[in-house]
Amino acid sequence: MAMGVGPLLLVFMLGLGLTPPTLAQDSPTYKQFLNQHYDPRPSGRNSKYCEKMMERRGPSDILMALQRTHPLLLLLLLTLLGLGLIQPSYGQHAMYQRFLRQHVDLQVTSGDDRYCNVMMQRRRMTIRQCKPFNTFIHEDIGNILNICNTSNIPCKNGRMNCHEGVVQVTDCRETGGSSVPNCRYRAKSSTRRIVIACEGNPEVPVHMDK
């Protein structure tokens, strides 16, 4: 049953030809490149798109940490993911982080016009344009997360992932005649009903609906 060298040589040549692309596709550098520079379906080419994508795809600590992680740890991570014991979602995590940045301030219980002027700038909502309206919630994060555990109600866009609760807030509304970089706001502090959209498992807030 002697096998000629021909077939072996063919397998060897195919291996040479096929292996590099496969390795390249698995390469963390290649994946990072795709994450940072590739978007097959852009939702727009304006500043809002850039801001959103930079937030979602910007330097990812998670990705970099993964690249340094030992393969066995990665295997463990994948096993846990497979078993459904952990369910992280990078996009969702970014949306939750954005919600915290834009809508949560535990430092105070109410704010005046000056508060809005400072906070809207500090929380990066006055970079390319003055965000017209924004609510800061002054409530423990546990209380805010608990709102996600209340019954589902319809959101403005018709989705059924909204929830309501009563919290202390400062609503910041842009005043007429204000413009970048001197965005000016009128504050209204109150204890009021808010509606937030939540996603994930466990559910976390990702959008302020009312």
Indicate whether 193 belongs to the interface with ligand PAX (CB under 6 A). no
Q: In whole angstroms, what is the distance from residue 29 CA to residue 77 CA?
A: 20
Q: In the set 114, 124, 128, 159, which binds ligand PAX (CB under 6 A)?
A: 159
Q: What minimum distance in Å lies between the beta carbon of 35 and ligand PAX?
A: 16
User: How many binding residues for ligand PAX (CB under 6 A)?
Assistant: 17
Residues of the chain by 3-state class (helix, strand, coil), percent to 5:
45, 20, 35
Distances from the Cα of 48 to the Cα of 55, 82, 121, 190, 192, angstroms: 11, 35, 16, 30, 29
Indicate whether 102 belongs to the interface with ligand PAX (CB under 6 A). yes
Indicate whether 120 belongs to the interface with ligand PAX (CB under 6 A). no
Indicate whether 133 belongs to the interface with ligand PAX (CB under 6 A). yes
Chain position carrying tokens 């209380």:
143
List the catalytic residue out of 70, 93, 103, 138. 103
Indicate whether 135 belongs to the interface with ligand PAX (CB under 6 A). yes
Q: In whole angstroms, what is the distance from residue 131 CA to residue 5 CA?
A: 71
Nearby residues of 97 by Cβ (< 8 Å), 6 or more positions away: 55
Indicate whether 155 belongs to the interface with ligand PAX (CB under 6 A). yes
Indicate whether 199 belongs to the interface with ligand PAX (CB under 6 A). yes
HSE, CB side, 13 Å, CA atoms: give it for residue 105.
Answer: 23
Residues that bind ligand PAX (CB under 6 A): 52, 102, 133-135, 155-157, 159, 161-162, 197, 199, 206-208, 210
